[in-house]
Amino acid sequence: MLKATELVKRFNEVAALDGFCLEVAPGEIAGLVGHNGAGKTTFFEIASGLIAPESGHVVIDGQVGVAPQQLALYPSVTVRETLRFFGGLAGLRRQALKQAIDRIAEEMLLTKELDRRVSVLSGGQQRRTQAATALVADPAVLLLDEPTVGADPETRAALLAAVRRRADNGATVVYATHYLPELTELDATIAVAKSGRVIARGTGEELLKGLPGEVRVILDDEELAVTTADPTATLAELLRGLDRPVRGIDIRQPSLDDLYKELSHVA
């Protein structure tokens, strides 16, 4: 469980967080979205204990695993040594630590890279290694700040699968991303941040309700496109009024991208 209440943090005259509230239950993945400067990274830094808020507080039940937005690895050591270090910090010892390293290496497609130095890994391998440092001890709470930025498809797929498994086993996950399809894959709830606070919170279905979709009807010589809150009914109405052959039909239901764009205009 994670509960952030009325967090305030300023950097000089800039309010990075201004009453930020977020509650995430065990087994839930909360997708944290918002433009750059919305306060996402500052929230992660406070929740992980790197900086203190000026007011408000965060309650976390259990051990925390953190994957920051920027790569934060020691280039001169091997992947195995990296995972041994972070697993040891989390309290794993001896056989339990060895088994955890072998397990997360297989899960994150790093088994063949375990004895290679971090500095010689590809960008995708480094991303997988950083994610593995957060996951190696199976913490109760995961804070993942854009963990797939710049990642290749293989890295993205491995990480999303690993995160989903942790949530299915009861972990609390906060997952910041600009790539909204990831949240659909993860079956995540959504928290939209703007100007240092969460301005919308709920499931994708709840937040998308009432947003407009689009219907396109393709004719021989033109294309009819209508923005509508009820694409199915609108399509039926369009077809009833046509006396020409229809060459194609496209119905686009509202998406998380539409939600993001809509809420970006909220004060």
Tens of pLDDT along 94-143? 999 999 999 999 999 999 999 999 999 999 999 999 999 999 999 999 99
Question: Could you tell me the residue ranges of all domains in the chain?
Answer: 2-75+120-204, 210-263
Amino acid at 239: L
Distance of CA 247 to the CA centre of its chain: 39
167 and 173 Cβ atoms separated by less than 8 Å = yes
pLDDT at 197 over 90: yes
CATH code, residues 2-75+120-204 = 3.40.50.300
Tens of pLDDT along 225-258? 888 878 888 888 888 888 888 989 998 878 777 7
Say what the pTM is: 0.85
pLDDT of residue 62: 94
Tens of pLDDT along 1-44? 999 999 999 999 899 999 999 999 999 999 999 888 899 999 99
Structure confidence at residue 214 as a pLDDT band (50, 70, 90) = confident
Checking phi first, is residue 170 left (phi over 0); if not, alpha (psi -120 to 50) or beta? left
- HEC string of 69-105? CCCCCCCCCEHHHHHHHHHHHCCCCHHHHHHHHHHHH
pLDDT at 75 over 60: yes
